[in-house]
Structure 1
Amino acid sequence: MGSFVCLHSARNLCDLCGVYKHVVEAVVDGHLPSLFQGARNATERDQVLNEVVVGSIGIITANTEESMNLFMKGSRIRVSLLVDPEEQSDFRVWINGYEKIGFLKETRFGPSTDSDRSFSRAQQWLRQCLENHDCGESRGSFQPCRLLNLHGNRVRLIETTEASDFQGPYVCLSHRWGDANTSRLISTTDNIHNHMKGIEWSNIPKTFQDAIVICRRLGVDYLWIDTLCILQEFPGMSDEKKRVASTDFAAENSVMARISQSSYFTIYGSVSTSMASSIFSPKLYGSHQIKNLANAEEWWAGILRQYTMRRLAKEEDKLPALSGLAQLYHQLTRDTYLAGLWKASFPHCLCWYNTAQAGTYTMKLGIGRRSRTPRVHSWSWASLDIVNDAQCRFWWPRESLSTNPIIYEDGATSRPVCTVQEAICQLKTDDLFGEVVGGSIDLGVLPVSAKIGTKSQGDESFSTVGDVAWTLDYVEDGTDVHICLADCSLDDDDLQMGDEVYCAPIMEAISESGSDRGRLVLKCVLGGSEFRRRGFCVLRKKNPSWDRANSPLPMVRPLGHIYPDLTTPEYAEKVQSYALLYNPSAERRIRII
């Protein structure tokens, strides 16, 4: 399953995605009126496209048909792509689908991506991009510290500051490193001088060979590959060599965004799970992705959803690998970066949790594992290594319902119910967006005592399925546990059933039906002076006088409907029986590490 945005981004990389894109646009523009009459204006068109879900269901009959499922406006349409296989070296695809669609689009497919026609098409795309787009304006004169020189028949590593004959442009390769058992070609303090003399073709992995061939066919003499152009650590290296490699990595990682943005283009390995280069490189993903301050927070939340699903070769690279994207965000917002979170997004960005899948009333918990060598404070999502198929999400109303399983009631308005007094991070290197070795956040909160157990207190609307670790079976103020999401298993977080924890309120969502409070579940450490995060929960207090059947508010929010802000003073009396009695002067200052 995917979105129209994914199809649009991939349209030039995948001919089939381009065909699917045309089909979706045809339907949205009203060519199948039995399903949809067509958007009335550009705003509605964008809204409908954002809601579309596309799913390819594979080849139906070998070489003759492929189908797509299109979900929109509560309906499903199946569109067939009929293939004419008569010309084996150059076949064509026609969009057939429904006869009433009134839309016919022909697309040519070359026999393979290494054909002369494929490279000719790539050259054409590059020319069109350079002549018509502004994505090349970011290249400038920046050059990475090292590059692979592909000129002639040799492949050798060069240092650009010392190469008198160096003349760009260069290309980046985004690739997957593989697991710890994968054989890798890397540059180290021991072999870098040999790599500068030349690298034997037989020693170069197939993915790297393919990238070199692409560069040469497109007339580019220089290639940047992270494993070869940045010094890597290796087993048994001395402390001094490790220091040299670590310093080199920190320096290059701090300019990762510039490396990719300044490249001629990026080669994106089809099996790569690295998304950083594809987002950095304007020619691959689009330079417009984060130019609007209004959607910056959603952009970052979307990045983290995708990023936390990836499996890193080294988990300690979790923040360094994200450094380049953080640089992009900072360039736009000028916000302060705090170990994967942004100061301007406090306090609601503290309401993160991990979940693997969501349904109407169930969700699969995303169990994490604390690093055995703590590298990040517990209040950041980066403190956990997720061990199942989970994503990091945030509990705040600006995330759309399709991406936020813990949904506010219709008409709910949110407010912070804590005070962020101080947040600090201790950096490991000079990279402001790289590794951290410590940090803390001081909050003014109104915590309540609770105990962990196996059955939630009250009427829990949401239930978790799968690897459930624990929940809250007692909360001191008597509120119902709407949902409790443990960060880790009991053993991993040094917890036992019956242990006392504290629920610190961060955000509250008030609706006509009740109050939902997003709270951090904290464990007291160091004699009571400091706390560590152990989970996230939503506690609910219902409006005792509310009756859905007689509610003046509609069951479903109509397009353009504006609900009243129940957090304002004029509604204080109406909500006082169930809203949190938030008094900043009564807050207790706590420190979370």
Structure 2
Amino acid sequence: MPLCQRCEKKTDTSGHSFAFSHLKQTDCEFCRLVYEGIIAILSPTIPHDSASATFPSFSLDPRKNFDVHILAYGIIVSFWCSWGTICPWSILPTHRAITTLESSEEGSFNTALEWIQDCVAHHNCSDNVSPTLPTRVVNTGLDGSPIRLVDGNSVRHRYMCLSHCWGQERPLMTTTKNISSHLEEIPWSTIPATFKDAILFGRKLDIRYIWIDSLCIIQDSSTDWEIESSKMADIYRNSHITIAATAAKDSRGGLDTCHTRESSVKLRGRTASDKPYDICCQYAMAPMTSAGKDTPGRPIQHPISSIMTLEDYGGAIPVFPLLTRGWVFQERLLSPRFLQCGRDELLWDCRESMHCECGQRPPDLPYNQVSIGMSDSDLLAHKWRKIVEFYCSLNLTYDTDKLPALSGLARQMSEMKSEAAYLAGIWSDSLDLDLLWVPYGPDCSEGKEYLGPSWSWSSSGRRIIYPSVWRSQEHDPSVKVLEVYFEFINAFCTAGTADPNGRVTDGRLVMSVPLFPLIVGSASDNDESYVMRYKNTPFFQRDGSQVHMDKRPSNWRQLFDDFRRRVFLDNIAKRGQLKNKIFSCRLARLEILEDSTYYLVFDARDTIQIEFSLLLEQIDEDKNVFRRIGLLADGRVVEGHKGDAQSWMNEPSCFEKDNERTQITII
């Protein structure tokens, strides 16, 4: 069908502005269709009838969507034609309708099946066609047999996994009291909606067995839990696929919570030449006030982009409750194929591709299967620190799960770092950067149970950031280690369970280091700033209005705008309770290239050099035993991509002249 002259120009990506009133007044059928779609979506949010309202032209973006950009309101509206219908306008792309997993019609299940079949046929995501089953699996009743728990030992067969939120309402569980009956049959009436949907989905895929954590681990047996949790890496890695109830807050939500309504606006009718059309439109980008609401044509929300933390994406967290859970992080990364049931659509991750039903998924999800594998040792260490940063922003019901919930990924990483020892969350071959974690956010009350040695991030109840990965490109670390001041001697951790990468009961780090005594106090009687002083050189915690980092700062430079030397305490509440001698243990000096970050806040030539030292409290003076209580940072901005050594020559570190090393043990 022919287009008017303005519509012909709308495929030109250079852009043309025009008055909104033109869409309504023109004789062009396509212009009027676009007008109807915009009115249906924006009214009454945007004053679309304003005489001064002008809009840029339509443009085809790289995803082949037909978008209307409304820059005045920060809005993009996408238009497309439904799959299988006649589209009178060739400039519109075609997308498949999002239906339900249970639908036998062309829709979501067939889309998922195509993704799976394409992966199996063309990718190298899994070479284990017939793996050994986990200790226990659930029989899906594929052949009409009862749904029940099955002993999987020594049996080789294909199986799938379910990733789900437990929520406030505990799911159906296997315990020492009911395991015998579960081995006979699990009555359908007792199975929650999410489990039912996953079992039915497994049947449609012709998969006989499914692994569900609450059913396949004896929940009131600490011994069984320890043994089975240590096998998590193999359980998820060997599965055919993991299906994730991403939108369900507990086991009652089911897999089809994402398909209870369609988010797009439908424009159906017939053209003047009697040709039928079925056009869809919805927000591709929406104002923050409407992005999370069930408004007409609201945008399909996708999981978090890699340049965001959970706190950055806080408004969308309720849309993806599963992705806020710490345990799920490794489930997604370890599975060869991960199919998410989101609120609006299905999303696909495998080790070679990512897809979504709407075709607009951001290509840079954090730590996806496409990017998890690499061989270079420095990049592996960098990748691990980024994993830890993101993982520490997620939620765990029990703090003691901090190391167990990451143990599967630690095991996978150890296979690629065969020469390095895993030490309660950090690695022996990259201590110069792994030890430099900085806590932020509100204090957490210290529990009675041991979480990890003080030098490991696992001991902290707060979120953490690493200066060596902050805002850096995922595969291009923007940090150079200019100097290392310590010598690593040895370290060990005592495993608390059968899992060598799980909980620990003890940990010691022995190093030869430059050690400097500090004086503790406030800047003045009327100042709330907290000061660690070496001789006449003070290190300030924060200014009086901000005694600690309560949120993730946008860049490192802002931390040194008012005070060049900083104190970062691991536990703010204890700052007035330090009764032992306090020392600084000089570690390393780094150069951070600010122009390599996602957020180009500074002049392109700016770099920042920071010297980091551990802040230690002496526990045993005779044996030189210490525990970490924080981090000291001495930072300065320098000019030029390669840094400026003169800045350190003109104003050296206050520790520069005293470099005699002492052997110490940090617990």
- TM-score w.r.t. the length of structure 1 is 0.67
Matched-pair identity in %: 24
1:292 to 374, 377, 380: 374
Give the match for residue 513 of structure 2: 445
Give the match for residue 333 of structure 2: 279
Shift of residue 90, structure 1, vs aligned partner: 8.5
Question: Does the Cα contact within 8 Å between 1:173 and 1:225 map onto a contact in 2?
Answer: yes
**Aligned mates of 1:494, 1:439 — CA distance in 2:** 24
Residue range with higher mean Cα deviation, 254-263 or 282-291 = 282-291
**Aligned mates of 2:521, 2:151 — CA distance in 1:** 57
Structure 2 matches for 1:21-420, cutoff 5 A? 32=13, 60-61=41-42, 80-82=76-78, 105-116=93-104, 117=106, 118-139=108-129, 141-151=131-141, 152=144, 154-161=146-153, 168-179=157-168, 182-233=169-220, 245-270=221-246, 271-272=321-322, 273=325, 274-284=328-338, 285-287=349-351, 288-294=370-376, 295-334=379-418, 335-355=420-440, 365-386=441-462, 391-396=463-468, 399-401=470-472, 414-420=482-488
Question: Does the Cα contact within 8 Å between 1:370 and 1:488 map onto a contact in 2?
Answer: no
Shift of residue 197, structure 1, vs aligned partner: 0.9
**Distance change in 2, residues 1:93/1:502 (3 Å):** farther
2:496 is the counterpart of 1:428: yes
Give the match for residue 475 of structure 1: none
Shift of residue 33, structure 1, vs aligned partner: 5.8
Letter in 2 for 1:354: P
Letter in 2 for 1:443: M
**Distance change in 2, residues 1:574/1:120 (3 Å):** closer
Count how many residue pairs are aligned between Structure 1 and Structure 2: 461
Shift of residue 518, structure 1, vs aligned partner: 1.1
Shift of residue 461, structure 1, vs aligned partner: 10
1:516 to 610, 621, 626: 610
Structure 1 residues 553-575: Cα deviation after superposition (integer angstroms, max 9, x where no partner)? 44xx5xxxxx2695xxxx8x973
**Distance change in 2, residues 1:147/1:483 (3 Å):** same
SS in 2 for 1:370: coil
**Aligned mates of 1:212, 1:464 — CA distance in 2:** 57
**Distance change in 2, residues 1:401/1:202 (3 Å):** same
1:488 to 555, 567, 571: 571
Letter in 1 for 2:629: R
**Aligned mates of 1:64, 1:581 — CA distance in 2:** 60
- TM-score w.r.t. the length of structure 2 is 0.60
Question: Does the Cα contact within 8 Å between 2:495 and 2:502 map onto a contact in 1?
Answer: yes
Give the match for residue 278 of structure 2: none
SS in 2 for 1:137: coil
Question: Does the Cα contact within 8 Å between 2:236 and 2:331 map onto a contact in 1?
Answer: yes
SS in 1 for 2:207: coil
2:584 is the counterpart of 1:503: yes
Letter in 2 for 1:114: E
Shift of residue 341, structure 1, vs aligned partner: 0.7
**Aligned mates of 1:339, 1:31 — CA distance in 2:** 56
Shift of residue 171, structure 1, vs aligned partner: 0.5
SS in 2 for 1:263: coil
1:535 to 630, 635, 640: 630
**Aligned mates of 1:526, 1:298 — CA distance in 2:** 34
**Aligned mates of 1:304, 1:216 — CA distance in 2:** 36
2:588 is the counterpart of 1:588: no
Question: Does the Cα contact within 8 Å between 1:525 and 1:531 map onto a contact in 2?
Answer: yes
Question: Does the Cα contact within 8 Å between 1:348 and 1:506 map onto a contact in 2?
Answer: no
**Distance change in 2, residues 1:565/1:455 (3 Å):** closer
Instruction: Return 5+ residue gaps in structure 1 as ranges.
Output: 1-29, 36-58, 71-75, 97-101, 234-244, 356-364, 471-478, 558-562
**Distance change in 2, residues 1:31/1:483 (3 Å):** farther
SS in 2 for 1:442: strand
**Distance change in 2, residues 1:514/1:263 (3 Å):** closer
Shift of residue 500, structure 1, vs aligned partner: 5.0
Letter in 2 for 1:137: D
**Aligned mates of 2:575, 2:653 — CA distance in 1:** 34
Letter in 2 for 1:372: K
Question: Does the Cα contact within 8 Å between 1:119 and 1:217 map onto a contact in 2?
Answer: no
SS in 1 for 2:429: helix
**Distance change in 2, residues 1:367/1:148 (3 Å):** same
Shift of residue 141, structure 1, vs aligned partner: 2.5
Structure 1 residues 30-88: Cα deviation after superposition (integer angstroms, max 9, x where no partner)? 984689xxxxxxxxxxxxxxxxxxxxxxx9548999x9xx9xxxxx9756233579x8x
Question: Does the Cα contact within 8 Å between 1:420 and 1:443 map onto a contact in 2?
Answer: yes
**Aligned mates of 1:249, 1:327 — CA distance in 2:** 18
**Distance change in 2, residues 1:393/1:510 (3 Å):** closer
Residue range with higher mean Cα deviation, 440-449 or 113-122 = 113-122
**Distance change in 2, residues 1:506/1:413 (3 Å):** closer
The structure that has the greater radius of gyration is 2
**Aligned mates of 2:510, 2:87 — CA distance in 1:** 60
**Distance change in 2, residues 1:91/1:193 (3 Å):** farther
Letter in 2 for 1:195: H
